[in-house]
Amino acid sequence: TLPMATMNFISFLLFLLLVDSSLCLIKHKRRTNKVSQECVNEKGFKIIRPNGKLKSCFWLKKRKTSKRDKLCNQWQKESQMRIRDACRKTCNNCSEVPNDPGLPKPNLVMILTDEQNIRTLSTYRNYMVEKYGEDKVDVWGPDAKMSTPNIDSLANEGAMFTNFYTVAPVCTPSRASFMSGMYPHKTGADKNHGRMDGDITTFAQVLNDQGYKTSYLGKWHLDGTEFPGWASNVPEWVSNGRSFGFDENKYRFNRGHWKYFREEGDSVVGYDFFQEELFNGNHEAHYSTDFLFDKGTEFIENSLKSGENFAVVLSIPDPHSPNSIRPPYDTMYKDIHFNIPDTGKRALRRDPAPPGWQQLIADRPDGFGLSMDQYINDLEDSPSSWWQDYMQQYFGMVSCIDDNVGKLMQMLKEKGADDNTIVVFTSDHGEMGMEHGKIEKGSPFETSAKIPLLVRYPAAIPKGKIIETAYSSVDFAPTILDLMGVSFETAGLNSHFEGVKASGDILSDDLNPADDDKIIFSVDYVKGKWASAMMRGYKYIIGRFDAPWLFDLNLDPDEIVNYADSHSHQVIKNKLQTALVEAIMNNLIYYDIGLDVYLDSPQCLDSRDILPLEDGRRKICKDIGNTVSVDICLEDNIFLNFCPLTCPEKCSIDSEGKILLRNGQAMSCSQIAISDTDICSASKKTRTFCPATCQMNENAS
């Protein structure tokens, strides 16, 4: 027999083991008690094959894995849905959502800022520093960085998406995709100041139908050119069906960036930054960020008091310009000096020149003269330059937002609602901060198109999850509804969304989901006229004004080098190129081709860089024959290499790859050579891409 002391010790160990097992079981139940919902194939769905034959999901199941996966990702134009969304079980497209009867229905707080530079959020900066190093991340100088502890807490206590992009880096189309889960051209709001169609079903409408009390506060930008367009001042909008599922819209306005708000009777009035003296001594109560957070907090508290589930969108106009912020944030960063990022200096000097879709006109002096260096020096060296004030005020706006996020989270905690409230932080697009020579947005570069997405939901999401799979704003609506337990089948949403659900990655046990095959799209056919396909680590871009670009973000996070012609990158390029062309041709995304577009690099294309003239002048290829003698082409082979299109003696070799014609066909020079139609005479770009073929066809005619 064992001594009594030993027996007691063993009993104590068994007790600890039992307690530990029970705690683990409770924790496991809370985190992973999920069931696959809607994990069935849609009855009667038919896959239309290229030969016209109709096949079922059962037929798809018998294909080889590689073939099945490829088919699952195809878009079925006739049914306006992806095959994986109809053959959910076969394609393993069954989301997992919390289904614990012990968990109450979650609430939602979505914080949507305007023009958020991802580097100004310290949780993202820290992630990028670990990945790329400080010299690649702190682009404004070693001291020009900030701390956002409250926003960071959402990532630390939830999930952070590191490859989340907007489908269009301008306000209106991005917001339309967030609200609808559809690509902007399907909503009517595909351009800035576009008006979203009144029959669009938003995620708020779905939640409202599920019994949620809903509210939208702040900038809306989906009611066309209405300015300012306060919903409280135009009550017929609600009666005419333009509430889009939001019960309360008093503090929703359409357009504008007022810095101060004040309630006057039943209406709300906005005031510009130059009217701030009207609020001396009471800035905090009326400044736009504080005002909207305060009103949002009131809505949440009233909902909790009445026992109603709520979903609220706090759409904050900051940190979008005008860059002006209330005290004390207006002087908080006055001692910080901001450099022009190295990519900005190189772009402004055209060394190398930026791609054709990167428009610099608004942010640089006229011409390419030697004064460019002086211009850059003035921005950096003068404490009173617009650039220093621009960034100091921008940092201040971000700090004000962060402090308000902290107040909101403290309120939820005090009310006991923080565990069961999904809190989302995101933005409609980025702010370039003079990277690549530009401020604001509109390009496919990272700090314009990449946006933050943080999701905190302690009842279901493990802490510290980092999701590296690529997703975009069109994926938000289906993701948030799935995360909140909405049955897509019951709600009639199975074929509604064009985006995909990221909830599988959010709720999985994997703390670092990273799908290298997921491809997303972004487009701007208004100004830059480009379209891009992106996957984790890579970005392929076509545009009307340039050859295609391929960025390898693993090797070149600065996005300076074009890897489109790199032999080792051809598999990646072809994968993204094929996906982008299919998305355009299947009308998944809209890209107004208008003119032919190079899918691969033409042999005959002038460099956009500065010509290496011995006399020190800064000229480009289009100056040859104008301010530079055309004889320079014959005098030096360097210029033949720089300017093969302007120096036509070099332009006689067909290009490899394909060109996307305005009729939607992607053709190689060999295909053009045997085409029944005279493509060359109707297309200057085809003549540039296939000079030998076009010359042969001309001689034959």
Q: How far is CA 455 from the centre of its chain?
A: 16
CA distance 349 to 628: 19
Q: Is residue 9 part of a domain?
A: no
Work out the burial of residue 438: count CB atoms within 10 Å of its CB; fewer than 13 is exposed, 13-18 middle, 19 or more buried.
buried
Mean pLDDT of the chain: 87
Beta strands in 473-591 (DSSP E): 520-524, 530-535, 538-543, 546-552
Q: Do 122 and 146 form a contact (C-beta atoms < 8 A)?
A: yes
Q: Which of 67-71, 408-412, 616-620 has the lowest mean pLDDT?
A: 67-71
pLDDT at 649: 67
Q: How many CA atoms lie within 13 A of 533 on its CB side?
A: 22
Q: How confident is the model at residue 671 (pLDDT cuts 50, 70, 90)?
A: very high
Q: Which residue has the higher pLDDT, 412 or 81?
A: 412
Q: Is residue 534 part of a domain?
A: no
Instruction: List, in sequence order, the alpha helices (H) in 33-138.
Output: 57-61, 65-72, 83-86, 122-132, 134-137
Question: Last residue of a domain, which of 444, 478, 507?
Answer: 507
Domain of residue 146, CATH code? 3.40.720.10
Give the residue-averaged pLDDT of 577-587.
94
Number of domain units in the chain: 2
Give the residue-averaged pLDDT of 553-560.
98
CA distance 257 to 662: 39
- Percentage of the chain beyond pLDDT 90 is 62
Q: Do 169 and 443 form a contact (C-beta atoms < 8 A)?
A: yes
Give the residue-averaged pLDDT of 373-402.
94
Q: Is residue 399 part of a domain?
A: yes
Q: Do 154 and 454 form a contact (C-beta atoms < 8 A)?
A: yes
- pLDDT above 80 (res 361): no
Q: 130 — phi, psi (to 5°)?
A: -65, -30
- pLDDT above 90 (res 227): no
For residue 71, what are the CA distances in angstroms to 82, 411, 580? Answer: 9, 48, 16
- The answer on 436 and 289 residing in a single domain is yes
Q: How far is CA 575 from the centre of its chain?
A: 20
Instruction: Give the structural domain span for 89.
Output: 47-94
Q: Is residue 607 part of a domain?
A: no
- pLDDT above 60 (res 38): no
Per-residue burial over 396-435, b = 16 or more CB atoms within 10 Å of its CB, e = otherwise: bbbbbbbbbbeebbebbeeeebbbbbbbbbbbbbbbbbbb
Q: How confident is the model at residue 623 (pLDDT cuts 50, 70, 90)?
A: confident
- The answer on 80 and 216 residing in a single domain is no
| Closest by Cα among 520, 545, 492 to 355 | 545
DSSP letters along 265-276, please?
TTEEEEE-GGGG
- The answer on 178 and 119 residing in a single domain is yes
CA distance 313 to 168: 20
- pLDDT above 90 (res 96): no
- pLDDT above 50 (res 23): no
Give the residue-averaged pLDDT of 530-535.
97
Q: Is residue 295 part of a domain?
A: yes
pLDDT at 225: 87
- pLDDT above 60 (res 256): yes
pLDDT at 65: 66
C-alpha gyration radius of the chain: 28
Q: Is residue 331 part of a domain?
A: yes
For residue 38, what are the CA distances in angstroms to 42, 85, 320? Answer: 9, 10, 41
Does an H or E element contain 371, and which?
helix 371-381
- Cβ atoms within 10 Å of 208's Cβ, excluding its own: 18
- The answer on 427 and 291 residing in a single domain is yes
- pLDDT above 50 (res 366): no
Q: Is residue 368 part of a domain?
A: no
Give the residue-averaged pLDDT of 520-542.
93
- The answer on 53 and 143 residing in a single domain is no
- The answer on 477 and 398 residing in a single domain is yes
- Cβ atoms within 10 Å of 41's Cβ, excluding its own: 17
Q: How confident is the model at residue 140 (pLDDT cuts 50, 70, 90)?
A: very high
Instruction: Find which of 70-74, 99-103, 114-118, 621-625 is predicted with most confidence, using mean pLDDT.
Output: 114-118
The sign of the torsion formed by the CA atoms of 588, 591, 595, 600 equals negative
Q: Do 178 and 428 form a contact (C-beta atoms < 8 A)?
A: yes
Q: Which of 189-193, 350-354, 445-449, 625-629 has the lowest mean pLDDT?
A: 625-629
Q: Are strands 107-113 and 421-427 parallel, antiparallel or unpaired?
A: parallel
- pLDDT above 70 (res 600): yes
pLDDT at 591: 86
pLDDT digits (tens, 9 = 90+) for 482-522: 999 998 888 888 888 999 999 999 999 899 999 999 999 99
- The answer on 191 and 150 residing in a single domain is yes
Work out the burial of residue 263: count CB atoms within 10 Å of its CB; fewer than 13 is exposed, 13-18 middle, 19 or more buried.
middle
pLDDT digits (tens, 9 = 90+) for 74-84: 756 555 456 87
Give the residue-averaged pLDDT of 604-611.
88
Q: 426 — phi, psi (to 5°)?
A: -155, -175
- The answer on 196 and 144 residing in a single domain is yes
- The answer on 417 and 292 residing in a single domain is yes
- The answer on 273 and 316 residing in a single domain is yes
Question: Last residue of a domain, which of 507, 522, 556?
Answer: 507
- pLDDT above 50 (res 181): yes
CA distance 329 to 331: 5
pLDDT digits (tens, 9 = 90+) for 459-480: 999 999 999 999 999 999 999 9
Q: Is residue 42 part of a domain?
A: no
Q: How confident is the model at residue 380 (pLDDT cuts 50, 70, 90)?
A: very high
CA distance 540 to 120: 26
Q: Which of 29-33, 480-484, 643-647 has the lowest mean pLDDT?
A: 29-33
pTM of the shown model: 0.86
- The answer on 494 and 452 residing in a single domain is yes
pLDDT at 296: 98
- The answer on 165 and 213 residing in a single domain is yes
pLDDT at 56: 80
Q: Is the peptide bond before 317 cis (omega within 30 degrees of 0)?
A: no
Question: Last residue of a domain, which of 507, 523, 551?
Answer: 507
Q: For 684-688, which contacts have Cβ atoms below 8 Å and span 24 or more sequence positions? A: 685/595, 685/596, 685/597, 685/598, 685/602, 685/659, 686/596, 686/659, 686/661, 688/602, 688/604, 688/605, 688/645, 688/651
- pLDDT above 50 (res 367): no
